Structure 1
Amino acid sequence: MDEQQLLALKPELDRFLDRFAPLFGRDENQVHARRFVQGLLHGGERRSIENLAQAMSGGPVRSLQAFISTGVWSDGAILKQLRGCVLEVLADDDAAWNADETGFPKKGTKSVGVKRQYSGPLGRTDNCQVAVFADYCSVKGHTSLDRRLFLPEEWAADGERREEAGVPAGVIFRTKPELALAMAADAVAEGVPFRWVGGDGVYGDSPTFVQGVRQLGKRYVLDSSADARVWTGEPQVIPPRSGPGRSVAGRARSPWSSGRPGAWTRWSRPCRRRRGAG
């Protein structure tokens, strides 16, 4: 978006940002938040604070840096306000809630969660951050609804690195399906209307995610790996024997464990798992 396009959009953008600005607290933080959004819309391949300030005709670089690095506001409150704006326009009881992850290329090692890992936009493994996003889709349109930054295990276990990067103590390692399920549960708790949950094989291959979606009372359409193992019938749970001589074979088996040899069926081609709630 060039300067003229941004100026033409500014009245409408200001009205939109009016709903979010108070959530940033102090007046100067509200001003910086507006500048930051406008700088992002201005475009450019690199989105550093210096470049954003330059795009906004020489904005205050140091104060913008302080706003991003040490400014205090509640991202939860901002996301809740965003969801309210989305539902005013797109709400539909038959909508779909979709999970997907994406990567953000990075040059250094200081950004939270950065490491060499697969990045969808790059199509390869490279130095990047990865986040899981929730997308809301109805017949009226679609947009992002929520997000969670993925924190790799080595980051979660490195206390010194966490402290230096400012990772809150309560943030622990969670898999991408676990992050997605937490966002879906939050959406349900807030009363976001949707019937369907969608995702690729990262989520379709996760029993935790699939069972969690069913417990939320939602239907799902998920990709599944070609070699995914499934039960062809209801597995028999054998109660454990009591008393001396109890054998391992007598223990109850989880439907998601390998169970007896031959109890699994291997798919010979890619498929989509479809399952109705209830």
Structure 2
Amino acid sequence: MTAPRMARPTVRFVDEYCESYRDLFVEVRSFEAFKHLHAGMISEAKRKSLPTIAKVAGLPNAQSLQQFLVNSPWQARDLRQRRIELILALVAGRKLVLVIDETGDRKKGHVTDYVKRQYIGNLGKVENGIVSVDAYGVLDNITFPLTFEIYKPKERLKAGECHRTKPAIAAAMVQDLCQLGFKFELVLADSAYGESGSSFVRTLHQLELPYVLAIRSNHAVLLPKEQRVRTNRWREYDRQFSDGKRETRFIREIVYGKRRAQRYWQLTTDRDVLPSASTWMVMTWVKGLSYKQVGDLYGLRNWVEYGFKQSKNELGWADFRVTDYTSIEKWWEIVMSAYLMVTLHTPPMRPKGTIPPEQDDSGVVLSFTHHSAWGAGNGWKNWLNNLRLILLPWVSSNLLKPWLKIFPIPKLEQGFQTLTGLMNLFPGASITNPQKLSSA
């Protein structure tokens, strides 16, 4: 009996990470497409369309990638389950900050599943598009995606489907993540989820999860006749951003009747003008919360939201060209997997036993850090750029293949092979065995 062929390699750090999912794909060609999509999504290509990724991977066309998304028998839920297992092994019981958000993208026409005219938060207006509710975690100031679910407008429901509001979707997400074993020290969300009577807020109370939620400026609380609304004096606090910059801001508490565990706050950059673009209302349910903590915790949500946008802008969240949601869900799951692959290389999230390049005494790996474009920072975008440098010789070789078929230059081809071989000495930061990691 002929043994099945091995999957063709890409670059070591991509191959090692993707190996954690190898058993989910029956066909070797499917596993190769899986790896090619990861490499293409983190590449420097501006648009992550399938034809562009095919060029990056050195494929003759995008047919194999299209086949992988549309007809290959693998399931998005299996990929999500494996990714969640890897994250659970990585965090090893540590408590996370959970961020609930939604993301929308403009899409033309009405052929794509669940596309209609609806509010697109990224654009700040109603447009024809597609929207999902997303959950991502924060640990040591590094973000990583957890899960998502498409929002299905009533007018686009299919036979047998039930409409659920975005807060209801988010509430179910939090329950599912807790059941999977995640532990959360705080939940952050925007005003779409922060109304006190929503199913989302009720679920947080049932699970006893502290939260800091944005609320609308016209938020109201039903009070007995003898109680009134009062505001405390403005207090100044120093808001420090993730990039180290500081800004003076102001905060005051708004008390509806008697002060309760659920508290309300107003934050602004200018207490005299209260500019609409930089004045926020916040509802909290956190024991012993101080004024400054409110500002810092709500501010955390702002840069965390930016963290998820990186996956959209850099990895091609909205660049799919399929119309059925089964294929769209597969695309989004691979984007989240590619996002996790980058996250694993950030110093705070590296698996135990991973040797940082700057501490590797093997010589060649340490040389990577001498590249003029190599970044020494800890952030996700910094490490995406570093991984792109490692990937570059392989990508460049693939892009030049059509010319080298016309004008063969053996020494040039050999040079690219040698350079790619050196890049393969970069070990990456993969989680191949979650059980082994968690017991380390």
Pairwise same-fold verdict (TM > 0.5): yes
> Is 1:22 the equivalent of 2:13?
no
Corresponding position: 1:193 with 2:183: yes
Matched, 1:272 2:262: no
CA deviation digits over 1:153-194, x for unaligned, max 9? 1101x55xxxxxxxxx5x432111111111111111111121
**Counterpart residue number, 1:110:** 111
Residues in 1 aligned to 2:60 and 2:166: alpha-carbon distance in whole angstroms: 37
Change (3 A) 1:108 1:48: farther
**Partner of residue 3, structure 1:** none
Q: After superposition, where does 1:1-20 map in structure 2 within 5 Å?
A: 10-20=11-21
Matched, 1:143 2:109: no
Aligned to 1:223: 214
SS of the counterpart of 2:135?
A: strand
Deviation by residue 1:102-153 (Cα, 9 ceiling, x = unmatched): 1123234322211222323334332321111101112262211111111111
Gapped regions of structure 1 (runs ≥ 5): 1-8, 160-168, 234-262
**Per-residue CA distance 1:183-237 (angstroms, 9 max, x = gap):** 111111111121221100001025211001111221111111111222447xxxx
AA of the residue aligned to 2:83:
L
- Check the 8 A contact 2:14/2:35 in 1, yes or no: no
Farther-moved stretch of structure 1 (95-104 vs 84-93)? 84-93
In the TM superposition, residue 46 of structure 1 has moved relative to its aligned partner by 3.2
Q: Secondary structure at the match of 2:12?
A: helix
Q: CA–CA distance in 2 between the matches of 1:125 and 1:54?
A: 35
Q: Does 1:175 align with 2:176?
A: no
**1:138 partner amino acid:** L
Residues 103, 131 of structure 2: 8 Å contact kept:
yes
CA distance in 2, matches of 1:49, 1:76: 22
- Tell me the matched-pair count: 226
Following superposition, the deviation at residue 77 of structure 1 comes to 2.2
Residues 1:91 and 1:175: Cα distance change in structure 2 (over 3 Å): farther
CA distance in structure 2 between the partners assigned to 1:22 and 1:92 by the alignment: 26
Q: Secondary structure at the match of 1:112?
A: coil
Greater relative CO, 1 or 2 (CA 8 Å, sep 6+): 2
Q: Distance in 1 between matches of 2:23 and 2:61?
A: 21
Larger helix proportion of the pair: 2
Q: How does 1:1-278 map to 2 (within 5 A)?
A: 10-91=11-92, 93-139=94-140, 141-156=142-157, 159=159, 169=160, 171-205=161-195, 207-232=198-223, 270-276=280-286
| C-alpha displacement of 1:91 | 5.0
Deviates more, 1:187-196 or 1:122-131: 122-131
Partner Cα separation in structure 1 for residue 136 and residue 70 of structure 2:
27
| Structure 2: distance between partners of 1:112 and 1:24 | 26
TM-score (norm. length: structure 2)? 0.47
* Distance (Å, rounded) in 2 between the aligned partners of 1:25 and 1:108: 35
More divergent stretch after superposition (15-24 vs 80-89):
80-89
Measure, in 1, the Cα distance between the counterparts of 2:116 and 2:25.
30
Whole-angstrom distance in 2 between the partners of 1:117 and 1:44: 30
Q: 1:181 to 1:129 in 2, by over 3 A?
A: same
Residue 92 of structure 1: how far off its partner (Å): 5.6
Is the 2:100–2:135 contact (alpha carbons within 8 Å) kept by the matching residues of 1?
yes
Inter-partner Cα distance in structure 1 for 2:93 and 2:216: 30
* Counterpart-to-counterpart distance in 1, 2:92 and 2:281: 30
Q: What's the CA shift for 1:79?
A: 1.4
Q: Which deviates more from structure 2 when the two are superposed, residues 46-55 or residues 141-150?
A: 46-55
Distance 1:69 1:146 in 2: 21
